[in-house]
Amino acid sequence: MAEEAGERPPLPEGNGRAWATLVVAGLLEPVWVTTMKLSDGFTDIEWAAATFVFLFFSMYLLGKALKMNIPMGTAYAVWVGIGAIGALVVGILLFNEPSDLLRLFFVLLIVAGIVGVQVTSK
């Protein structure tokens, strides 16, 4: 019936476009977190507005990926993982946050977890 109404049927799991959408959504996470930091507790209105724009698009794309039938738990884990790693890297590169070997090892564990969740999703 959805096809009759002009709507597309949901794409199958593992679809490359769904995963690409999810990755872009995850990559927007460190962008909005960075703009949030730059907003100085939402006191700088331009950076605060940018935060909400990037946050909206990150969540919007997460929702689109879910609609394309990536399992919810998998999508959320990958989205958060990409965002966490991205925020950590931005913190190291732009805000002189610590980058010791033990911290980087734990980032590697997050990457391994993201890959594991994606590989085992059905």
Domains in the chain: boundaries: 16-120
Calculate what percentage of the chain has a pLDDT beyond 90. 70
pLDDT for residue 55 is more than 60: yes
Rg of the chain's alpha carbons, rounded to an integer? 17
Would you give the DSSP letter of residue 97?
-
Give the C-alpha distances (Å, rounded to integers) separating 38 from 32, 35, 47, 56: 10, 5, 6, 17
Higher local confidence (pLDDT), 1 or 27: 27
Residue 12 has pLDDT above 60, yes or no: no
In single-letter form, the type of residue at position 37 comes to: K
Q: Which pLDDT score, from 0 to 100, does residue 118 have?
A: 80
DSSP 40: T
Question: What pLDDT shows up at residue 83?
Answer: 95
pLDDT tens string 67-81: 998 999 999 999 999
- Supply the pTM of this predicted model: 0.80
The Cα 34–Cα 80 span in angstroms is 15
pLDDT tens digits for 30-41?
999 999 999 999
Say which residues have a Cβ less than 8 Å from residue 10's Cβ, sequence separation at least 6: 67, 68, 69
